[in-house]
Amino acid sequence: EIPEELTENEILEIVAQFKMGAEYAKEAGFDGLELHGANGYLIDQFLKDATNIRKDKFGGNIENRCRFPLMILDAFIEIFGSNRVGIKITPVGRFNDMFDSQPFELYKYFLKEINDRKIAFVELTRAPDFRPVPNLYGIKSEEQIEDLYETFRSFYNGVLIGNCNFTIEEAEESIAKGKFDMISFGRLFIANPDLVPRYKNDWPLNAPNHTTFYTSGPEGYIDYPHY
């Protein structure tokens, strides 16, 4: 199946669908929403110039490529308020074949726009990816931007959450040094439903079974043992 470029009307329809999803989430009692703007999903596809080759107002220059993601953020803010909305981004992530030729310029602009909206947080996923990813572009993530925090902190003054392969020791050190306000854990929580007491008591951790990620059924989903 070959993807087709969305029409401008279809883009507006998708923004409306995101807004409807936010309305349903609020009705269901959600405290807030995080927009997934990373890892090659739709938001990321519009941001990165390797995937966004549009010639209209949603593609081309950086401002145009940021238009669709910012429209969705604005829709979320309209429903929840800016202090209940966050976003996850991967400026140099390679997951799902993502790449941008000028990530500094792109995310400098994008983060300044986000900062103006005074949202609750930005979750910044660093390089390298958690597993070796084939590089179609001949440039490693860290070759483009070695330290995401040092690079982008000055463009966003809200809550900054570090993400990707942090140990508890590195997380505590990063927060103590003021690099991040929080650290998020994903795969370790999948493998350790009792991650918090394990860390509190210095208990050993279960190792994540990567072969079961994104599959159906209980294996790798609800069968990891508690300590």
Catalytic residues: 41
CB-CB contact of 188 with 195 (8 Å): yes
Burial label, 111 (beta-carbon count in 10 A; 0-12, 13-18, 19+): buried
Question: What does each C-alpha distance from 56 to 5, 9, 45, 65 come to in angstroms?
Answer: 11, 12, 15, 10
Q: How far apart are CA 73 and CA 127, in angstroms?
A: 24
Q: How far apart are CA 133 and CA 182, in angstroms?
A: 26
Question: What does each C-alpha distance from 111 to 103, 123, 124, 188, 219 come to in angstroms?
Answer: 12, 11, 11, 28, 38
CB-CB contact of 187 with 208 (8 Å): yes
Closest CA to 99 of 139, 131, 68, 129: 139
Q: Is the alpha carbon torsion for 149, 187, 138, 122 positive or negative?
A: negative
Extract the tokens encoding 130.
């958690």
**Phi, psi (degrees; rounded to nearest 5) at 138:** 75, 10
